[in-house]
Structure 1
Amino acid sequence: MPKPPTRALSRQTREAVRLLGLAVRDLRLARGITVAEVAERAGVSRGLVNRVEAGDPGTGIGAAFEIAAIVGVPLFDPDPKVVSREIALARERLALLPSAARVRTSEVKDDF
């Protein structure tokens, strides 16, 4: 399958992805975990782990975050209560937006 064309990314995005990749590699090596072990635990290929470590911005954010979590890279506050509170606050802020700015959810019609 051909690779889609590359988008132009800001320097901040490129540097953040590279920093995450370096942090993943650093902690993985410090803990003596192989790429194969991380890939198996994350349910992804070794190639994807290598791409995350190389700072490839084309990797999925969920996979990159899961790999980071497996090796112990702190992405957000380690206290789950703090993360839950931040999610609640973000939802409250979004609820204050006018209805025209909110994402509309429609019921899925699955009765064929």
Structure 2
Amino acid sequence: MKRARSYSRVTKQALSIFGKLIKAGRLEHKLTATELSERAGITRRTLRNIENGEAGSEIGTVFEVAALVGVRLFDVDERTLATHNAHLEEKLTLLPKSVRHRKQEVDDDF
């Protein structure tokens, strides 16, 4: 059974804006919902959910649909993205691999 999830107002607004950008891109490219959904390998219902800003679609699917209609996620060229990605990889190697909270020992010495 799928667990109900709540999203903040900011997240909902961001999804709505992103969905509208994707829909505007589709219309500017004169693509029907059927054409775009076929190119993305998704159903029309999934595309409708993305365009309506509904949460729940896989992030990779949403990014692929955005790329197909020309909605850029980052406003830089590929070389800059590669450099930025390399810097982030370096940063991640310096950070701990995971975060664990220490268990607090019980003081039962009365």
- TM-score between both structures, scaled by the size of structure 1: 0.80
Q: Which residue of 1 aligns with 2:13?
A: 15
Question: What amino acid is aligned across from residue 68 of structure 1 in structure 2?
Answer: A
Q: Which residue of 1 aligns with 2:74?
A: 76
What secondary structure does 1:90 align onto? helix
Residues 65-91 of structure 1: CA distance to partner in whole angstroms, max 9, x if unpaired?
000100110111341111111111111
Q: Which residue of 1 aligns with 2:30?
A: 32
Question: What amino acid is aligned across from residue 45 of structure 2 in structure 1?
Answer: G
Output aligned runs, 1:1-112, within 5 Å: 4-99=2-97, 101=99
Where in structure 1 do 4 or more consecutive aligned residues deviate above 3 Å?
Answer: 98-101
- Segments of 5+ residues of structure 2 without an aligned counterpart are 100-110
How far off is 1:38 after superposition?
0.7
CA gap 1:97/1:41 in 2 versus in 1, 3 angstroms = same
Supply the distance in 2 between the matched residues of 1:69 and 1:62 (Cα, whole angstroms): 10
Supply the distance in 1 between the matched residues of 2:98 and 2:31 (Cα, whole angstroms): 48
The sequence identity of aligned pairs, in percent, is 37
How far off is 1:5 after superposition?
3.3
How far off is 1:14 after superposition?
1.0
Residues 36-70 of structure 1: CA distance to partner in whole angstroms, max 9, x if unpaired?
11111111111111110000111110000000100
- TM-score between both structures, scaled by the size of structure 2: 0.82
Larger C-alpha radius of gyration, 1 or 2? 2
Q: Aligned Cα RMSD in Å?
A: 1.5
